[in-house]
């Protein structure tokens, strides 16, 4: 459909999009009733096949009918008189969503695997700064999506600069950075160990628990596993268990990273950048530097040796308790040179570290107490009361924990720094993954200082700097220096004529 399409009349999605709606409905149904689906899969041999497949067919027909009704009752149009974008939807409960055109920040066009197969796209409207539900259209053609995007941006009165950047993003694209597969593999094998371990543990424990409820302990005999590990030398058992989990973690990291960020390209358009990535689900995101509130660069020891970093960009968000996922954009696997190019584009200048501020030594003492001495004391009294393990083994485990925890606490203290210059506030922290968070003083929304009564004697305290994209805190520092910095930052906010959004 040409760009001159008339969106003043209600329109429906592409008819082929019923397939997408049907797939989404099946996915939601499986998620809601997955324990029943699991029982069905386990007991499929003993069930009446006629009832089983007949019931499945009836359910699929009902879901298909519901998907068509979703398509039929879903309409969208632009009301130029009230300057609103209107979506009406709902089969049983009718819903009308209205978005004021001047609140539209950006319009993204994405594509999932199912949408790729039927050649339709998903259009998402970003209204950052509003806590209202945002709009999305799940199945429209690429031509119609581009036409609607251009029309919405042209009518948007949020910012002339934003509108120009959005339209130029459609018309003029220049590849700025392309992250290759090797860089993704490097970042995949050197990050997110703890998160992947937690996901694997949660996934297998949940699946095993539900299977055992259905078929009993026949699937996995814990005593057999324990007896087998006990029959091996202790070092062999530790290496075997560690090797299995480490292999699973690396596999999950690699698969997740490659699928999510495959063919990650950054395209420059005037003063904004467009991000395009995804193997199964394609994402297209326009990032306006004016909306950027905070940037965090992460790198650990291995990543430093492999010359890869991760950059997280936090945009303005309306979330009062935590940032919305859409307002956090991660750029993985970029080299140091590419990182500097991205930062220079976002901030016009490459951020440089200014005057360095260190925490008081008491921060190290407190962390050693809570993360090292306190756990040792707890395990000592528990083992004293219940005699869980032999004392020689407790000594060995405690020694290993002391060395490991002591190293982490020390490096966490060593890397904890705050750098302040005229144009940037940079906080560095982390024991293994070193995070460097960057904000600009004029984008500060609120400043909070805190000092416990027992800290007054030693003249130490804390400060928190809140922006529309997150908070930076620096604790256990010289309180006189903190107050001087606060006065300076408030002065910068007052005299700045720059727009924080």
Q: Which residues contact 277 (CB under 8 A, 6 or more apart)?
A: 260, 261, 262, 263, 264, 265, 283
The pLDDT value recorded for residue 200 is: 73
Calpha distance 247→202 (Å, rounded): 17
Contact by Cβ (8 Å): 138, 152: no
| Residue 55 exposure: Cα atoms within 13 Å on the Cβ side | 8
**CA end-to-end span of the chain:** 34
Distance CA 161, CA 106 (A): 12
In contact, 445 and 468? CB cutoff 8 Å: yes
Radius of gyration over alpha carbons of the chain, in Å? Answer: 28
Of 477, 423, 456, the closest CA to residue 464 belongs to 477
Q: pTM of the full predicted structure?
A: 0.78
List Cβ neighbours of 304 (8 Å cut-off, separation of 6 or more).
none
pLDDT tens digits, the chain, 501 residues: what are they?
444 467 888 888 988 888 888 888 888 888 777 667 766 666 666 667 777 778 788 888 998 999 899 999 999 999 888 888 899 998 888 888 888 887 777 788 888 888 888 888 898 887 755 544 468 888 888 888 888 888 887 777 544 444 444 544 444 566 778 888 898 899 988 888 777 777 777 777 776 666 666 555 555 556 666 666 666 676 777 777 778 878 888 888 888 888 989 989 888 876 567 888 888 888 888 777 878 899 999 999 999 999 999 999 998 765 544 455 556 788 998 899 999 988 988 888 899 899 999 999 999 999 999 999 999 999 999 989 888 888 888 898 899 999 999 999 999 999 999 999 999 999 999 999 999 999 999 999 999 999 999 999 999 999 999 998 889 999 999 999 999 999 999 999 998 877 766
Closest CA to 171 of 146, 145, 137: 146
Count of residues making up the chain: 501
Say how far residue 429 (Cα) sits from the centre of its chain: 19
CATH of domain 15-158: 2.30.29
* Residues 316, 129 contacting (CB under 8 angstroms): yes
What are the φ/ψ torsions at residue 325 (nearest 5 degrees)? -60, -35
Q: Where are the beta strands (DSSP E) in 121-252?
A: 121-126, 136-140, 174-179
* Contact (Cβ atoms closer than 8 angstroms) between residue 128 and residue 287: no
Q: Residue 265 in contact with residue 276, Cβ under 8 Å?
A: yes
Cα–Cα dist 55/72, whole Å: 26
- The pLDDT, as a whole number, for residue 339 is 92
- CA pair distance 171, 149, nearest whole angstrom: 12
Query: What's residue 1's pLDDT?
Result: 40
Cβ partners under 8 Å of residue 88, min gap 6 = 10, 73, 74, 75, 76, 94, 95, 96, 97
- pLDDT given at position 154: 76
pLDDT at position 390: 84
For the chain, what are the domain ranges? 15-158, 177-350, 361-414
Please report where in the chains the tokens 């032999």 appear, as a residue: 390
422-457 pLDDT tens trace: 999 999 999 999 999 999 999 999 999 999 999 999
φ and ψ of 228, to 5 deg: -65, -45
Question: How many H-runs (helices) and E-runs (strands) does the chain carry?
Answer: 16, 20
Sheet holding 121-126, edge to edge: 106-110, 121-126, 136-140
**DSSP reduced 3-state for 223:** helix
Cα–Cα distance, 333 to 245 (Å, whole number): 24
- Is the Cβ–Cβ distance between 267 and 176 less than 8 Å? yes
Which DSSP letter does residue 288 get?
Answer: -
Q: Following DSSP, what letter does each residue of 392-424 receive, concatenated?
A: HHHHHHHHHHHHHHHHHHHHHHHT-EEEE-SS-
CB 102 within 8 A of CB 125: no
Say if CB 97 and CB 265 are below 8 A apart. Answer: no
Beta-carbon contacts of residue 419 (< 8 Å; ≥ 6 apart): 353, 354, 355, 356, 357, 425, 426, 427, 428
């Amino acid at each position: 459909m040409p760009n001159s399409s008339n969106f003043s009349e209600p329109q429906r999605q592409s008819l082929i999009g019923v397939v997408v709606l049907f797939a989404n409905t099946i996915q939601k149904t499986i998620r809601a009733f997955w324990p029943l689906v699991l029982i069905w899969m386990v007991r499929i041999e003993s069930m009446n096949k006629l009832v089983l497949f007949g019931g499945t067919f009836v359910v699929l027909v009902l879901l298909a009918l519901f998907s068509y009704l979703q398509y039929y009752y879903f309409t969208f149009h632009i009301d130029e008189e009230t300057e609103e974008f209107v979506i009406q939807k709902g089969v049983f409960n009718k819903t009308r969503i209205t978005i004021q055109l001047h609140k539209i920040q950006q319009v993204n066009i994405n594509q999932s695997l199912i949408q790729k197969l039927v050649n339709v796209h998903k259009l998402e409207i970003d209204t950052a700064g509003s806590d209202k539900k945002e709009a999305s259209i799940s199945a429209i053609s690429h031509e119609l999506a581009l036409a609607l995007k251009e029309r919405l941006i042209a009518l948007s009165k949020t910012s002339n600069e934003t509108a120009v950047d959005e339209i130029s993003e459609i018309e003029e694209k220049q590849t700025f950075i392309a992250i290759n597969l090797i860089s993704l593999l490097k970042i995949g094998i050197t990050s997110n160990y703890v998160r992947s371990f937690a996901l694997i543990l949660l996934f297998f424990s949940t699946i095993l628990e539900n299977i055992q409820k259905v078929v009993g302990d026949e699937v996995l005999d814990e005593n057999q596993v324990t007896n087998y590990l006990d029959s091996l030398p202790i070092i062999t058992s530790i290496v075997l268990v560690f090797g299995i989990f480490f292999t699973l973690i690396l596999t999950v990291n690699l698969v997740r990273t490659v699928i999510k960020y495959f063919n990650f390209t950054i395209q420059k358009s005037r003063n904004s950048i467009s991000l395009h990535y995804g193997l199964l689900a394609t994402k297209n995101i326009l990032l306006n530097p004016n909306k950027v509130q905070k940037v965090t660069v992460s790198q650990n020891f291995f990543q430093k040796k492999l010359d890869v970093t991760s950059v997280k960009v936090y945009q303005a968000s309306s979330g009062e308790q935590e940032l919305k996922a859409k307002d956090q954009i991660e750029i993985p696997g970029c080299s140091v040179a590419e990182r500097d190019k991205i930062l220079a584009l976002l901030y016009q200048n490459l951020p440089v570290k200014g005057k360095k501020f260190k925490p008081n030594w008491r921060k190290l003492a407190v962390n050693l107490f809570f993360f090292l001495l306190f756990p040792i004391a707890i395990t000592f009294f528990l083992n004293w009361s219940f005699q869980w393990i032999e004392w020689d083994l407790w000594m060995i485990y405690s020694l290993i924990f002391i060395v490991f925890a002591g190293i982490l606490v020390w490096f966490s203290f060593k890397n904890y720094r705050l750098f302040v210059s005229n144009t940037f506030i940079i906080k560095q922290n982390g024991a293994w993954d070193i995070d460097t968070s960057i904000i600009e003083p004029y984008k500060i929304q609120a400043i909070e200082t805190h000092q416990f009564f027992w800290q007054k004697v030693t003249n130490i305290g804390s400060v928190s700097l809140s922006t529309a994209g997150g908070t930076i805190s620096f604790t256990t520092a010289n309180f006189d220096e903190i107050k001087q910095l606060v006065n300076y930052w408030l002065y910068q906010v007052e005299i700045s004529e720059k727009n924080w959004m």
